[in-house]
Amino acid sequence: MCNLYSHTSNRDAIAAFVQDIKRIHENVGNLEPQPGIFPDYDAPIVRNTLEGRELAKVRWGLPSSQKALFDAASKRADKLREKGKDVNFDELLKMEPDSGTTNVRNIITSTGKWNQHWNRWMGVENRCVVPFTSFSEFDNTVVNGTKNADTWFAFDETRPLAFFAGIWVKDWTSVRKVRTGLETTDLFGFLTCEPNDVVGSIHMKAMPVILTTKAEVEMWLTAPKDEAISLQRPLPDGVLEIVSVGTKTDQAA
């Protein structure tokens, strides 16, 4: 699961890669480098909107499924009941914190059907691409009593610009954090898939879905979902390099 990445490119490079960007949202500003982007951070995406493609900064972490929230609220209710407290479960469920789902894997279920939770956002209007220059997977290997920790991957030491295949949701109301209560905000996340050999040497479960050409970006942003989903595949073996180890930000980027 990729829960940390960097973006240190710029607006001009993004515009040169992604065709026909109609608007740059005011929250983008000068698009300062972000050597460490964590879940719930605002980060740049290029998204489809009714007014055309827009470069904007959006909060990382899509809505979790109702089942996940129901299960979490049920556990919390059980603990409160054990303490002898009355529970209004409907209110508890409404206010259940959802920190967001950063990575989207099971768009197609094991029965070959579209996952109901994700399918509603698989239309072109909810597609986006997420610029990055490197991403991290956590290495649990212990060396001399210490975990190797974060391992950073990029196409090479220069960290060229590429894109994750993403989806975004407009004006979602939820409790992200207990202290802030209900909030309404735009959210995004990106797809994952089986890892290639480079990422799999550190993290065997998954890697982000990476788009490396203008044609792939265009396909993800415009193709019907039955065609676009073919892009949910790993990069070929041998593609990507380990460019840094052991830091929470890719400072060399």
Q: What pLDDT, in 10s, does the model give residues 219-231? A: 999 999 999 999 9
Per-residue pLDDT of the chain (253 residues; tens, 9 = 90+): 799 999 999 999 999 999 999 999 999 999 999 999 999 999 999 999 999 999 999 999 999 988 877 877 788 787 888 888 887 877 777 778 788 999 999 999 989 999 999 999 999 999 999 999 999 998 876 555 566 689 999 999 999 999 999 999 999 999 998 888 899 999 999 999 999 999 999 999 999 999 999 999 999 999 999 999 999 999 999 999 999 998 999 976 4
Question: What type of residue is 185?
Answer: T
> Would you say 239 and 155 are in contact if contact means Cβ atoms under 8 Å apart?
yes
- Domain annotation covers residue 253: no
The CATH number of residue 123's host domain is 3.90.1680.20
CA distance 10 to 161: 9
Question: Are 53 and 137 contained in the same domain?
Answer: yes
Task: Give how many domains the chain has, as a whole number.
Answer: 2
Provide the greatest CA pair distance for the chain.
Answer: 61
Place of tokens 């998204």: 47
CA distance 202 to 139: 6
For residue 56, list its beta bridge partners: 45
Question: Structural domain of residue 83, as residue ranges?
Answer: 67-96
Question: Are 85 and 136 contained in the same domain?
Answer: no
Question: Are 78 and 159 contained in the same domain?
Answer: no
Q: Which residue in 139, 132, 245 sits closest to 201, CA to CA?
A: 139
Question: Are 150 and 186 contained in the same domain?
Answer: yes
